[in-house]
Amino acid sequence: MVNWPEKICALFLEKALAFITEFEAQALLLQLLFLKDSGLSPISWASFESQLNQARGTPLHLPENLPPPSNLFLHWQKLPENFLKDFQAEWHVWEQQQSGFQPIENWIGSFSELINNKTQRRKAGVFYTPRPVVRFLCRETLSTFLKRHQNLSPKTSEALLKAQTLSLDKTQKQALVSALKELKICDPACGGGYLLLGMLAELKSLEKQLLPNHSDYNWSQNIYGIDIDPLAVSVTRWRIWKASKTSAQSAENCKLQIVIGDTLAEGSPWGKDIRFDLWVANPPYLGEKGHQKSFEALKKGSLKGFYQARSDLSYYFFHRVLDWSKPGAIAGFLTTSYLLTSSQGQKLRGDLKERAIIHKITDFHELRLFSGALGQHNLVTVFERGYAPELPVSLNLCIRKGQFKEAALDNLLNQTTSAFIRREMRQDEIFRGPELSMAQPVRLQILDTTLEGILEKIRKQPTRLEDFAQLHQGLVSGADRLTLGHCKKFGIKQPPGSGIFVLDQKKIHSWPIKEHERQLLRPWFKNSDIEPWTAQTQSKNLIIYTDRQALLTPQDRLYQHLEDYYPILAARREVQLGRMPWWQLHWPRQASIFEGPKLVLPQRSQTALAAWNETPWYASADVYFITAQAADNILPWLLAWLNSPLAWLWLSCEGKRKGKLLELYHRPLAQMPVLRPKNEYAAFKSLLAELKAGKRPSLKLEKTLQQIFYAQLKLSQTEQSQLEAAWKNKAV
C-alpha cells in the first residue's frame, strides 16, 4: 500500500531542494501544512506572506517558533514564483484520486517520520512512541503521583484513570483537581509531542470525570517541553495549542514553555530555574560509539561526574531530571532494559540509589513496542526524587511476546493481571554487587521460593571465576570481509563478502605462499561452531594472523592481497594514530590464548554453552576464551560448572541479558560465583578423557558432575528437581 503522505512529502522536498537548503525546504513544507490545516492555501508569495501575517502570534506562524535570525520567508522566495501554485494544484489532484485521504492534522503529528526514514531515525536514536505506550506511560506516572501525594489507594487510582466508578465525595474531587492544576509537567526530549499530548489528554479526562460541569481549565499552562529539533518543537507547540484551546493565551503558553534547547546543556532553556512535579520521557537511545560529538559537552559540564565511556545518551536524562525536580517529583521513563545491568550504567544506578525512590519497573521483555526497532527490549521505570530505602519496588514482567497492532497492544497493556507477573522488593534489595546492577523483572519468570533459596546459596560462595581463570575476548581484525558499506565508502570494486583478513582455504590453495606467510594463516571459527562441551575443530576458513610481531613485505602474496583493500585498512583507528602498520590486525590479542587448552563461549546464548578446546582455534570478539591461571586441570571442573543448571540459574537471574539471551561478557562471567570441588573426583578425570577424545560427556557422566555440585551446596531432592525442571524448560 502506498504511503501517500510520505510520498507527497518526498516529492515536495525533492523539488524544493533544487533551490533551497534541506532545513528551509522542510520548514516550508511544515508551514504549508499548518496553513492548509487551518483552511488556507497560498498560491503566490504575496498571498503566502499575507496569510503568515494573519497567523502571527499563533503556532501556525512557523518563523516565530524558530530561533533568531529566522527570516525564512526571504529564503523561501528563492523558489520559482509558480512553486506554491503548482504544489496546491498537485495536492488537489492527489486528494481527488485517493480515497480515505488522511486529515492534515495526522500529517503534522507524524511530520518527523514523514521527512526522515527509519534508517535516519535509528541513527539519531529516535523512536516515536506508539499511542498505547504513551497512554501506559502517562497513566503509570500519574497513578504513582496520586498514590504518593494524594493518598489514593491503588484501586481508586486505577478506577480514576480508567474512568470507572469512584468512591470520592465532592470535596475530595475538588481538592484533587486543584492539586492537578498546580502541577508542572515536562518532557525533556519532547520530539513531536506524543507524550505531552498524552499527558494533556489524561489531565482533561481526569478533570471531566471529577468535575464534569466545570471542565474548562486551560491545561496548556501546565505543560513544558524541550527538544533540540526546531521543527519538532514547532509541531509540539501546534499540537498542544490545538488540543487545549486555540486562544492567544494557549499560544503564549506554548511559545514560552515548549522551547528549543538541549536538556543536557548548561543552564535553563527557559531562562530561569524551574522545578517540575511530573516528568514523562522517551529519551534518545544513542551510544557513544559513532556519536562522540554528542558526548563531548557531557565530559565538561555539570554532568561530567556521571560520565562513563561507551554509555548511552539516555542515561544522562535521568540525572538532569533529578536535578530539575522538586522533592517528591514523579518521573516515568521509557528506555531499553540495558540500564538495569549495563556496566556503562553503573553511575546512573548509583545516582538512582542515592537520589531516587524506584516505585515501579516494568520489563516488556519479548513484547515488541516499536515496529522500527524489533530487536529492542524496552523498560518503563517510574521513580521519585527522594530517599526511602525501606519502601517497596514493584517489579513487573510482561509475559506476552511478539508485535501487536495498536488496538491489541492497548488492550494488552490494560490487562493488569493476565499479561504481567508481579513481585515486590525493598529499595535496598534491588541494587546488587560492585556495579549496583538492578534486579531484573525477567527473574520473576524463573524464581519461586525454592529457586530463590538456591540462588542465595550460590551468592554466599566465597570464590569467583576470576580467582581461578583469565577471560579474554576474541580478536578484532577491523575488516574480516568486504561489506557493501566498504564498497560505497572507499570505492572498492570487489564483490561484497570477499575475504580481507578472513579467507576461504580453497581460494588461497593455489597462491604462491612462502613458508613464513603460511605460518601466519590460522584456523578461523565462528561462535556458531560452539556446542555444549565441545566445539568444531575443522574450519573452511583461515585468518591472516598479523599480530605485532608479524612481518610482511610487498613481495609477499598475502601483502599483495591485503593491498587490494588498503583504503579500508588504512582508515582503522590504530593505523591513523600511527601505532601499527596498515596490514596488521587491529586487536590481535596474544596468540597463546587461541593455541593451548581453553574454554570457549559465544557472547550470547540461552545457556552458558561452554566448550573445551586444546587445538589452534581463532575467533572474533563475539567469542570469549577462558584460560587457566595456573594448572590446566581446573578447566574441566570450570567447564562442568558453566554447563550446569546452577550456573544457568545464576546467569539468568544475576547476569546480563538481551531479551531471552544471556550476554556472556567479561564482567558477568568473571564475577560469577563458582563452586570448586573439594576433592579430585574421578568424574572430572573421566570428563577430561572424553574431551581429549573429541567427545561430549554421556548423560550419566553429566548427571554425576551435577550431583557433585548439588552435594557441595547441600541441595535437597526437592531443590534439585525444581532447578532441573526450570533449566529444562529454559523458562525465559
660-685, pLDDT tens digit by residue? 788 888 888 999 999 988 877 789 99
pLDDT at 535: 95
Q: Could you give the CA distance from residue 552 to residue 565 in angstroms, rounded to a whole number?
A: 15
Residue 626 C-alpha cell reads as 577462558
- The per-residue DSSP string of 448-509 comes to -HHHHHHHHHHHT-S-BGGGTEEEEEPBB-S-SB--HHHHHHH---SPTT-BSSEEEHHHHT
Residues 392, 459 within the same domain: no
Question: 465 and 393 in contact (C-beta within 8 Å)?
Answer: no
For the record, the C-alpha cell of 672 comes out as: 560469577
The segment with the largest mean pLDDT, out of 9-13, 174-178, 331-335, 674-678, is 331-335
Q: What angle do CA 493, 499, 500 make, to 5 degrees?
A: 80
Chain-centre distance for alpha carbon 280: 17
* CB neighbour list of residue 435: distance below 8 Å, 6 or more residues apart: 341, 343, 346, 349, 667
- Cα(275)–Cα(620) distance, integer angstroms: 49
Over residues 583-608, mean pLDDT? 92
- Of the CA atoms within 13 Å of residue 694, those in its CB half-sphere come to 4
Lowest mean pLDDT among 277-291, 434-448, 552-566: 434-448
Residues 6+ apart with CB under 8 A from 728: none
From CA 435, how far away is CA 670, in angstroms rounded?
Answer: 13
Q: Are residues 70 and 89 in the same domain?
A: yes
pLDDT > 90 in the chain, percent: 59
Same structural domain, 510 and 464: no
Query: Is 530 found in the same domain as 424?
Result: no
Its sign, for the CA torsion 73, 79, 80, 82, is negative
Q: Looking at the structure, do residues 465 and 481 belong to the same domain, yes or no? A: no
Residue 123 included in any domain: no
The enclosing domain of 286 has a CATH number of 3.40.50.150
Q: Write out pLDDT tens, residues 113-149.
A: 778 765 555 555 555 678 899 999 999 999 999 999 9
Q: pLDDT category, 615, cuts 50, 70, 90?
A: very high
| Angstrom distance (rounded) from CA 170 to CA 616 | 79
Q: If pLDDT is split at 50, 70 and 90, which confidence band does 373 have?
A: low
Instruction: Kindly state whether residues 293 and 362 are assigned to the same domain.
Output: yes
Evaluate if residue 711 carries a pLDDT over 90: yes
Closest listed residue to residue 709, CA positions, set 648, 630, 633: 648
- CA–CA separation, 381 and 334 (whole Å): 7
Cis bond leading into 212, ω under 30°? no
Task: State the pTM of this model.
Answer: 0.83
Return the H-helix or E-strand segment holding 386. none
* Residue 638 banded pLDDT, cuts 50, 70, 90: very high
Same domain, yes or no, for 417 and 452?
no
Q: Is residue 346 domain-shared with residue 399, that is, in the same domain?
A: yes
Q: How far apart are CA 243 and CA 223, in angstroms?
A: 12
- If phi > 0 it is left, if psi is from -120 to 50 it is alpha, else beta; for residue 328 that is left
Domain total in the chain: 4
Give the residue among 727, 728, 713 at the shortest CA–CA distance from 453: 713
The predicted structure's pLDDT at residue 629: 85
**Residue 622: how many CB atoms within 10 A of its CB?**
14
Q: Which residue range forms the structural domain that includes residue 411?
A: 131-442
According to DSSP, the β-strands at 604-605 and 661-663 are antiparallel
